[in-house]
Chains A and B, each alone.
Chain A
Amino acid sequence: MKPAPFAYCAPDSLDEALALLAEHGEDAQILAGGQSLVPMLALRMASPSIIVDINRITKLQHLEETGEALLVGACVRHAELLRYALLHPRWRLIADALDEVAHPGIRNRGTPCGSLALADPAAEAPAFAIALGAEIVLASTRGERRVPAEAFFLGIYETAREPDEMIVAVSFPVPYPDWRFGFEEIARRKGDYAIAGLCAGLRVEHERIAEARFVFFGVGDYPVRALQAEDMLAGGDPTDTDLHSAVATATMDEIDVSGSVEYDAAYKRRLVGVLARRVLGQLAATGEVT
């Protein structure tokens, strides 16, 4: 379990990092927290010829919220964002989700942007990015562009990022006060990757659901929105448990679930329904978000 040989570089500026990516493309790997990359190097599942360590680039370490959006830089750790989200209830979904990411030690180094770049089907960050309508900010020597989270994930460990690009930040638009969010994941042990999980949000106006976001993760190649379930919820009463059951049943049919070696598709499908009902139950109890 020793990595194959690689070159290592720790640029001080973003421009230097982008120049390296332009030169090496797919042969380069970005190192931020390393909590996924380093084990993959050790297992020789990844053997890049050069590692570009971005931890010295101060521009990437910022976590800041303007009136419009929360901008999370590529080197912001899970633990930092979790602390911030715990202090600001409008970001409760991020807090609930990050609390399930691995273990405290891993959260101290690992990064949400790293999780987005890796695109593990069972990871939390891609799911809450989609649920919150986030934009992923990509940079290369060719410039900067933003990709909506919903369009970013294309397959298992596959994203819309070009080989010469890197994620420099993820931007979460500030949710309107009438949104409320719920989260649940089902895992075998505390801190494990989810067998299945759900990030959900409801925008409630005059005690009726104006809009819903339902994003499942762990059940397919990448997180998936249950659009039909969202439609079913629109106009409904968030406390109506019959509606909850109906939506739960509908999601089980709607979502195209793939199984894994340990958990077959039938089992995951059941979890989809369980998650839908449980999270809707959470949301029924949640008051308005301030």
Chain B
Amino acid sequence: MAPGRPTSEIGRPRPRSEARRLIAGRGRYAGDENRTDQLHACFLRSPYPHASILKIDSEAAIAHPGVAAVLLWDDLAPVCKPWRTVSKAFPGLQSPDQYPLACGRVSYQGEPVALVLARSRAVAEDAAELIDVTYAPQPAMADYRQWQNEDTPLAHPELKDNIAWSCDIVEGDVDKAFAAAALVVEDEIVFTRHTGVPLEPRSILAEFDETNGGLSVRISHQMPHQLQLHLADFLHLPMSLVRVTTGDVGGGFGIKMHVYSDEVAICAAARLMQRPIKFVADRIESMVADVHAREHVVRARMALDASGHITAFDIHDLHGLGAYSVYPRSSTMETLMALRPIGAAYHYNAYRARADVILQNKSITGQYRSVGHPIATTVTERLVDRAAHALGLDPLEFRRANYVRPQDMPMTNPAGLRLLDLSHEACLDRLVELIDYTGTKAKVASESNERKLLGLGFAAFVEMTASGAEAYGRAGVQVAAVDSVSLMLEPDGSLKASASVCEIGQGIGQGLRQIIAQGIGISPALIALSLGDTATSPHGGGAWSSRGAAIGGEAAWGAALKLRNEILNVAGALLQCAPDTLDIVCNVITDASGAQRTTLRELAETVYFRGYELPKDMQPQLSVAHSYRRGQDAAIPTNGIQASLVEVDTETGLVRCLKHWVVEDCGRIINPLMVDEQIRGGVAQGIGAALFEACRYDAEGQYLTGTLADYLLPMAGEMPDIVIAHVETPYSGSAIGAKGAGEAGTCAAGAAVLNAINDALARRGASLSETPATPQLVLHALDNTAPEPLR
């Protein structure tokens, strides 16, 4: 039964069935949960980027009315152990022990030092002001670009240096390629640290049942099973006594996939206090305590031969981390994904990349949507534009001439990426139509004048999705790459289902219901799917690497087919005909002539209540489970191309996005509405990175952009229309052929915007290699090449 059946659910643009409930204000987020005897938590966080803690006097705070306790690391130590990020994928990784509350010293501004538990958050904050901490401030490592300077302070005095990790990736003879090159283009691009900002902040409610030793955690999180595993480990409990539940999650973006000190502290505190503890991070602490990402300086060179073909890349990535490498996956995963996808859309022969990854006394960095790929894409596409410009070629034709061609695949490229089932040229052809290339180029030319310059920029991309077990298994990091779905037919013919994927607002629940519906022949409205509860859903990966459809969907399909077969076997027995002459269409079992013979409801009632009607030895299994792991390809590559039209005000330096286009190939699309809106959200984050978002620190490591007045997110007024089209090249290695789609928007949007800005600036002979492209940077770029100073 092919997924492309005419009456298929797969491919249908159904609105999310959760949407109505959420819009009507019936969402149940972790912050909506309450227990009658709960305590509210407030963290006292370090005001210093680097300091020893000499003394903590919490007497006045403890005595404050309404306060139940003020906890420090020493209080938690009996029930909780510290953790250290270790990964065989990053040999030599330096990352000291991490504690739920600071132990002896603080290594970044915002690090939790003390935990106040009180009858309300307000009272807890009042009490926190009364805690007297004596710090001895130390010099802070606040500028990773100074890493080779002898005077630069150590982020951690016990480490020999500030290098978290270094690596060299080499394939082919890069020096020979550059020596023989007809053209070499190069750039140094500065990417400013920024962060994902989920609308719903991190929130947790933890309770410990001392009668059975069980910990229950209600949390806004992307992977409850992973968290369950780590909490069990840190708190010395078996997994069977730890339950993690997610419920509605208001956005994750990777920010909510990590193990956070403050959340572990809450769980340890619940154990100690034997009362439920509730913590909702407010926006101020979220800005400093949520993981940050994408702080890089990349020097890159690209060699081309005489026929204008790319032959080699030579890269140096200086990557700035925070005080620790994030647990458990390591902040250095971003390093690898900032490097390996460089050039991936194009054919080339030799590749060399060196990364130096530097610890700083700043907030911890970690996975954030599209992990590393936006860096790789921006670097590649800047070089590609420079080459096209130098050769006097149309930027799209240059790309077309250099693309990896279908006949080249499957292949492993020099950077080690396995490429297959990609459709670069088809996407490019579609984009040319979509943007009315000729018309838009004419508009750019005719509407550009002295005061405002229009620019059109492109970014082709390859994004590696749906990571398999190789990503972390070989590293010795316990990350589930297998996902499972369970299905149980109810007596009334409806379906109860559970799965190991996680709903974080991306709509995977809707997608799985459509897959299951098609696999069985049941209406999606009859499927109750429960996700995110470790007590009732199988262990699995949760939400990361855009795996929901590509991996969870395969498990759902397999389970649906199993149940369908089982139902038809039973039906065959009841109807006295061969099961393979029967079908299930819209909850009704039909025979070869199309006649309706019985319904799922009738069949289920028979099995549950009148088993004597079945053959003596038949044991119907109306409860099935199926697990899926991908047996080949470390990740599923996807591809696409984005375009951005911008307007640059040459007097103020302000940049406006006028329009944005995406043509993307994520293989078989389960629900186009879900996919397109994921892409749009991702594009918003890419625009934010290119124009607005920056986590800024001063020279002493003081965090400066602590509120949403300082940290600028693109809002509705800044967003252009985003036009989306798809090419569908199914992944050849799975039944449905879906690939990951959730991160594609973020992967290349920033690169397209930066290229558009540079297209505009090029009219004045200027260029810009830093994001975000603040108005001052834009004017600086214009000034440095304009023949006369601009007034």
Contacts and interface: CB of A to CB of B under 8 A. Distances in A.
Nearest to A263: B776
B82 interface: no
Interface in A25-71: 43-44
B780 to A, nearest CB: 9
A249 B789 CA distance: 13
Given A1-B283, A4-B126, A270 B715 contact: no
B727 to A, nearest CB: 34
B791 A273 contact: yes
A10 interface: no
A267 B780 CA distance: 10
A267 B779 contact: yes
Nearest to B783: A270
A249 B775 contact: no
B98 to A, nearest CB: 26
Interface string B695-707: 0100000001001
A44 to B, nearest CB: 8
B692 A189 contact: yes
Nearest to A195: B775
A216 to B, nearest CB: 15
Given A188-B692, A189-B712, A1 B717 contact: no
A99 to B, nearest CB: 13
A39 to B, nearest CB: 9
Interface in B183-199: none
A43 B283 CA distance: 10
Given A189-B717, A274-B652, A267 B776 contact: yes
A3 interface: yes
B791 A264 contact: no
A190 B718 contact: yes
Given A1-B282, A2-B122, A186 B776 contact: no
B654 A270 contact: no
Nearest to B694: A262
User: How would you classify the secondary structure of chain A's contact residues: helix, strand, loop or mixed?
Assistant: loop
Interface string B708-719: 011010110110
A267 B652 CA distance: 9
Contacts of A189: 692, 712, 714-715, 717-718
Nearest to A245: B791
A188 B125 contact: no
Interface in B113-138: 120-122, 125-126, 129
Contacts of A195: 775
A138 interface: no
A244 to B, nearest CB: 12
A261 interface: yes
Contacts of B120: 2
Contact of B125 (A2, A245, A271): A2
A192 B125 CA distance: 29
A274 B651 contact: yes
Interface in A181-199: 186, 188-193, 195
Contacts of B714: 189
A83 B125 CA distance: 41
B284 interface: yes
Contacts of A261: 696, 704, 710
A267 B126 contact: no
A158 B44 CA distance: 31
A188 to B, nearest CB: 6
B121 A2 contact: yes
Contact of B654 (A5, A188, A262, A273): A188
Contacts of B709: 193
Contacts of B715: 189-191
Contact of B717 (A5, A190, A193, A274): A190
Contacts of B125: 1-2, 4, 44
Contacts of A191: 715, 717
A281 to B, nearest CB: 11
Contacts of B129: 4
Nearest to A278: B651
Nearest to B283: A1
Nearest to A261: B704
Listed from nearest, the 8 A-B pairs whose CB atoms lie closest are: A190-B717, A2-B122, A1-B282, A274-B651, A267-B776, A2-B125, A186-B652, A2-B121
26 contacts: A3-B122, A4-B125, A5-B122, A43-B284, A186-B654, A188-B654, A188-B712, A189-B712, A189-B714, A189-B718, A190-B715, A190-B717, A191-B717, A193-B709, A195-B775, A249-B791, A261-B696, A261-B710, A262-B696, A262-B774, A267-B653, A267-B776, A270-B651, A270-B790, A271-B652, A274-B652
Interface of A: 1-5, 43-44, 186, 188-193, 195, 245, 248-249, 261-264, 267, 270-271, 273-274
